[in-house]
Amino acid sequence: MSSRTTLRSGAIAATLLALSACAGGNYRPPSDALVKIGKPYVVRGVTLVPAADPTYDMLGYASWYGSESGNRTANGERFRPKWITAAHKTLPLPTYVEVTALATGRRIVVRINDRGPFVPGARIIDLSQGAADELGIRQGGHAAVRVRRIEPSEADRRRLLKGKPARDLPPESDQAVGRLQSQLSAAGMSLTGRSARRF
């Protein structure tokens, strides 16, 4: 074999290797084995400080995002729009949360593996398309929610790590939803989001 043929074969192999890397060969497999808190970072002049928060329980707004955001999540996993995942600005990656739609009381378990949302206003979580479908908010684009950190069952972890929804949760009672809606209103927010800065 001539040196020219060897060089050409080497160049082709290097090109194919580079293309396979671009195609997504370097994604971290979905796993809970390594939890990443991360260093403080700045977005639009605001410093955000990731931290473990076992008692996290917030009211605000959820929106959703799809493949337009790119293919890689902040913890290095492949972003799969149909999986039940979400983005949060500061909770460790991954973290599991229960998200409740305050208009309906519907609840789902979501695995946070990305960072965001980075917009003005009271948005506290960005759901994947799959999570937004599960919660029933995809058509509206955004919704008032409660986001509460939880420790899911091992069965629910396994399902979410394989892209399947966790077990169905019963909806919040009308009484509990009424209390949450009152708290939302007392904080100057509405179910529609009209009182928050537009996103």
Q: Tens of pLDDT along 60-94?
A: 999 999 876 678 999 999 999 999 999 999 999 99
Q: Rounded distance, CA 169 to CA 107, Å?
A: 6
* Residues 125 and 147: beta-carbon distance below 8 Å: yes
Q: Are strands 95-101 and 107-114 parallel, antiparallel or unpaired?
A: antiparallel
Which residues 6+ apart lie within 8 Å of 4 measured at CB?
Answer: none
Q: Which domains does the chain have, with CATH numbers?
A: 41-186 (2.40.40.10)
Q: How many CB atoms lie within 10 A of CB 122?
A: 19
Tokens 């192999």, located at residue: 13
Taking residues 122-131, what's their average pLDDT? 96
Calculate the dihedral angle through the C-alpha atoms of 34, 153, 74, 115, rounding to the nearest 10 degrees.
Answer: -130
Rg (CA), the chain: 20
pLDDT digit string (tens) for 15-39?
333 333 344 458 999 999 989 999 9
The pLDDT of residue 25: 57
Which residues 6+ apart lie within 8 Å of 107 measured at CB?
Answer: 98, 99, 100, 101, 169, 170, 171, 172
Q: Count Cβ atoms within 10 A of the Cβ of residue 165 and give its class: 0-12 exposed, 13-18 middle, 19 or more buried.
A: middle
pLDDT digit string (tens) for 149-197?
999 999 999 999 999 999 999 999 999 999 999 999 999 999 987 544 3
Whether the CA torsion 72, 158, 33, 63 is positive or negative: it is positive
The pLDDT of residue 114: 96
